[in-house]
Amino acid sequence: MKRIVIFASGSGSNAENIISFFREKPDVAVAAVLTNKSSAKVLERCDRLGIPAFYFNKPAFKNSDAVVNFLKGLNTDLIVLAGFLWKIPSHLIDAFPNKIINIHPALLPKYGGKGMYGDKVHQAVKDNKETETGITIHYVNENYDEGAIIFQAKTDVIPSDDANSIAQKVHQLEYEHFPQVIEKLLS
Ligand code: GRF
């Protein structure tokens, strides 16, 4: 049995989608969800889905081994960042080499880096009159959105799209592909 831990800071619709996907699979379990935001909607989802969820603050995350020890204690095989906004500290990356992945809502290397998240990404895609956007699933290194790319998928952007409709298209791609990419990585 392979064990995933999801990190999420916000709504957690990807987290829920991943949890639901692996409920049907005997070989993979979502062991827990971790968040840095005690008011994150993802916590309500975990409650409803019966998934253990835990909160950590910045000192515990950045300046201690608390999170690493916790993840080791869960026998974590893969850490999945799904809308998690803090930079991952190097001691955590070193403790889980090539075992931390992130999903970014654009076609990296475009529209990545510090401060590029959520609607800011989709608005920038709109403002630059891009004709396509998409998702990037990548390994996490010490720089925002710069680790090796594992998978990308594209969707069209048409002139009548706004940041909202672009976000919806991108979310559809995320729901369709993220669980399957995780499954492949674990097989
Ligand atoms: C997703 O668009 C993901 O690509 C990005 O953050 C968003 C999270 O959405 N990293 P949700 O919380 O899963 O609904």
List Cβ neighbours of 26 (8 Å cut-off, separation of 6 or more).
1
- In the structure, what pLDDT confidence band is assigned to residue 94 with cuts at 50, 70 and 90? very high
Which pTM was predicted?
0.96
* Res 142: pLDDT: 86
Q: CA neighbours within 13 Å on the CB side: how many for 131? A: 0
Contact present, 173 and 137 (Cβ < 8 Å) = no
**DSSP conformation class of 87:** P
Residues in a beta bridge with 2: 28
Give the pLDDT confidence of 101-153 residue by residue, as tens digits: 999 999 999 999 988 999 999 999 999 999 999 999 999 998 888 999 999 99
**DSSP conformation class of 81:** E
Binding site membership of 82 for ligand 1 (Cβ less than 6 Å):
yes
Give the pLDDT confidence of 10-39 residue by residue, as tens digits: 999 999 999 999 999 999 999 999 999 999
* Res 143: pLDDT: 85
Binding site membership of 112 for ligand 1 (Cβ less than 6 Å):
no
Contact present, 27 and 2 (Cβ < 8 Å) = yes
Could you tell me the distance, in angstroms and rounded to a whole number, from the CA of residue 150 to the centre of ligand 1? 17
The class that CATH gives domain 2-97 is alpha beta
Q: Which residue's alpha carbon is nearest to atom 3 within ligand 1?
A: 83
Question: How far is the first Cα of the chain from the last one, in angstroms, to the nearest whole number?
Answer: 10
**Per-domain residue ranges for the chain?**
2-97
* Res 144: pLDDT: 83
Cα of 118 vs its chain's centroid, Å: 12
Q: Which residue's alpha carbon is nearest to atom 8 within ligand 1?
A: 83
Of all residues in the chain, what percent carry a pLDDT higher than 90? Answer: 95
Give the pLDDT confidence of 157-178 residue by residue, as tens digits: 999 999 999 999 999 999 999 9
Q: What is the DSSP string of 96-133?
A: STT-EEEEESS-TTTT-STT--THHHHHHHHHTT-SEE
Give the pLDDT confidence of 33-62 residue by residue, as tens digits: 999 999 999 999 999 999 999 999 999 999
- In the structure, what pLDDT confidence band is assigned to residue 99 with cuts at 50, 70 and 90? very high
